[in-house]
Structure 1
Amino acid sequence: MNHVRSVGMRKTARVALVSLVLAGAGFGVTACQSDPDIDITKLGLETDAPETLYNQGLANMKAGNLAEAGRKFDSIDRQNPFTEWGRKALVMSTFTKYRLGRNDEAVATGNRYMSQYPQSQDSAYVQYLVGLAYSKQIADVTQDQRAAVRTIDAMNKVVTNYPTSEYVEDAQAKIRFARDQLAGKEMQIGRYYLERKEYLAAIQRFRNVVEQYPNTNQVEEALARLTEAYYAMGITEEAQTAAAVLGRNYPDSQWYADSFKLLKGNGVEPRENRGSWISRAGAKLIGA
């Protein structure tokens, strides 16, 4: 009997809550009861149990209604925080936001999940989603590359903290892509300086590529540009070393052919100075 009374009290409280919300929105409770066209869910109020809302969200996802699915999951999160249903809803909310292209929101939701449930059964997946949301924001190398830096950080957490997860391989691929972007940004700036004959500034950018991003697809050109810049400054020995390291690692590269031609046309050939920073960096390259 006490159980029945408790259930009845909860229903009464829920009706009272609905009445207050509707009254604040300019609707009377009587109107809500008599007008079938009024949908209280459109007012942002969900009265179903979290399990029901979760299943409704899954059904909407299956039907392709991601926005509606996300609304269901967000309702669970708001009304049932720090519960198992709330935890599961946060996972799905992160996913739907990512799929809808709302990447900043996906990152915020995913990071909130990770702060609350860092060692849960879905933490590797959510961390991976955060990395994917960042990777979707990586811009062309002519633009700011902060998203690439954040992608690397997020995906490194997947690789380091969840090394046996199924997401590691793709996380590593996303890291490689982001590093290529960062190296590409350095090359873009370096070429800018080189064109203006600001050789020292150009060399520093190309050096960053060789030393910081040795396993990227930008290294061949970086070594060729170092050959060009050092030779233009009259530092022939470093130009020869850059060309020699390039030829040793990428003998069939067009960049090496161009560097060889530049030196040969001026009476010198590629020759590696083992004491040069270029030679030391060369030991870490893809073809070393």
Structure 2
Amino acid sequence: MSCRVQGWSGTSSPICDIVFDGPALHSIPLLDYGAPRCCQGTGQGKTRMTDRQPLRIGKPLFAMVLCTTLVACGGSDELALEDTSPEAIFTQAELELARGDPDDAAALFAEIERLYPYSDFAKRGLIMQAFSYHKDQDYENARAAAQRFIDFYPADEDAAYAQYLLALSYYDQIDQVGRDQGLTFQALQSLRTVIERYPDSEYARSSILKFDLAFDHLAAKEMEIGRYYLKREHYPAAINRFRAVVEEFQTTSHTPEALLRLVEAYLSLGLTDEAQTAGAILGYNFQGSPFYDDAFRQLTGQGLSPEARGSGWLTDVYRRTIQGRWL
């Protein structure tokens, strides 16, 4: 492909001589993974807007789009978008995504919404804005675009995807346990919305998995703080954190260690009934765990055994979860 400026026609637009030697734009595979349903690739090297309305851009339109974008053609770094059809802008935005420029793609999708707010391309451009911003890790703008789509088109087939993107914009920021967990709570809330509002969607199963992982993440934070207090011999504060894991996050992978740390903390305080009860719960539910082996050694080392004793909160847990007595 080449573009040569032959001169000016006396108007504000340059005259371009376009020689295009490559494939037509509709033969270039663009978004085959991760994009909303309305804009996913067909798997045959074509980009489609919906299952019923394929978008096909031939060489003349492709040349026109390039002519508006190349500096050599127009002498300007800006697109003359006001004179460009929404279809052409959409195609150029997809091309930017394929080139690995989601930020530029998002800006172009936003222009469709601005210039053609009542067109069908505006709706498609809005969901693609959210996708592009998320791909660019611009999570705040991704959330804003996804929320606008949900507000404007709540019954659309891509509403579930918009809600899923909104949840991901929180979920993808909770990678570190040591950070503030406000984002984790927001991710859980948004993921629950996907699960409850769109239970039959293709995003529900992924949301359930991510919900469990985010829930486990919160338990990990409680454990981190509890270990901090335990190491510094602040036993009551440590017990409160480990108790939260046992009572509120009992389905997570951190429950066995939380019970072990309760044994350690209660033994350090001389509260043997509570330590033995924690050991009994640990032994009943996780007998093959190395955490139980450690707890058993600590208890027997002081002449104690893992058994339910006393009438504290751990005894209530033992009665409900092991004996099945809730009253």
Q: TM-score, normalised by structure 1?
A: 0.81
* Contact 2:274–2:310 (Cα < 8 Å) also in 1: no
Q: 1:213 aligns with which of 249, 265, 269?
A: 249
Q: 2:13 aligns with which of 25, 33, 46?
A: 33
Kindly provide the amino acid, as one letter, of the partner of residue 283 in structure 2.
G
Q: CA deviation at 1:159?
A: 0.1
Kindly provide the amino acid, as one letter, of the partner of residue 266 in structure 2.
Y
The farther-off stretch of 58-67 and 164-173 is 58-67
The farther-off stretch of 231-240 and 77-86 is 77-86
* Contact 1:274–1:280 (Cα < 8 Å) also in 2: no
Alpha-carbon RMSD across the aligned residues, in angstroms, is 2.4
What aligned pairs does 1:41-80 form with structure 2 within 5 A after superposition?
Answer: 41-42=78-79, 45-80=81-116
Distance 1:88 1:227 in 2: 57
Q: 2:139 aligns with which of 103, 124, 129?
A: 103
Q: Match for residue 15 of structure 1? A: none
Kindly provide the amino acid, as one letter, of the partner of residue 158 in structure 2.
D
Distance 1:231 1:140 in 2: 32
Q: Match for residue 254 of structure 1? A: 290
* Contact 2:216–2:252 (Cα < 8 Å) also in 1: yes
* Contact 1:194–1:229 (Cα < 8 Å) also in 2: yes
Q: CA deviation at 1:145?
A: 1.5
Kindly provide the amino acid, as one letter, of the partner of residue 178 in structure 2.
T
Distance 2:238 2:118 in 1: 53
Listed one character per residue, the Cα deviations across residues 81-120 of structure 1 (whole Å, up to 9, x for unaligned) are 3543211111111011111111221112112222222222
Kindly provide the amino acid, as one letter, of the partner of residue 122 in structure 2.
G
Kindly provide the amino acid, as one letter, of the partner of residue 244 in structure 1.
A
Q: Match for residue 30 of structure 2? A: none
* Contact 1:32–1:38 (Cα < 8 Å) also in 2: no
Kindly provide the amino acid, as one letter, of the partner of residue 242 in structure 1.
A
* Contact 2:13–2:74 (Cα < 8 Å) also in 1: no
Q: Is residue 203 of structure 2 the alignment partner of residue 167 of structure 1?
A: yes
Kindly provide the amino acid, as one letter, of the partner of residue 140 in structure 2.
D
% identical aligned pairs:
36
Q: Match for residue 88 of structure 1? A: 124
Listed one character per residue, the Cα deviations across residues 143-185 of structure 1 (whole Å, up to 9, x for unaligned) are 2122211111111110000000011111111111111111111
What runs of 5+ residues in structure 2 fail to find an aligned partner?
Answer: 1-9, 15-71, 323-327
Kindly provide the amino acid, as one letter, of the partner of residue 231 in structure 2.
E
* Number of aligned residue pairs: 256
Q: CA deviation at 1:123?
A: 0.7
Distance 1:172 1:183 in 2: 17
Listed one character per residue, the Cα deviations across residues 30-63 of structure 1 (whole Å, up to 9, x for unaligned) are 78435944236348x4431222222332343344
Q: Which secondary structure does the structure 2 equivalent of 1:127 belong to? A: helix
Distance 2:131 2:321 in 1: 38
Distance 2:223 2:100 in 1: 42
Q: Match for residue 308 of structure 2? A: 272
What aligned pairs does 1:149-188 form with structure 2 within 5 A after superposition?
Answer: 149-188=185-224
Q: CA deviation at 1:229?
A: 0.9
Q: Which secondary structure does the structure 1 equivalent of 2:83 belong to? A: coil
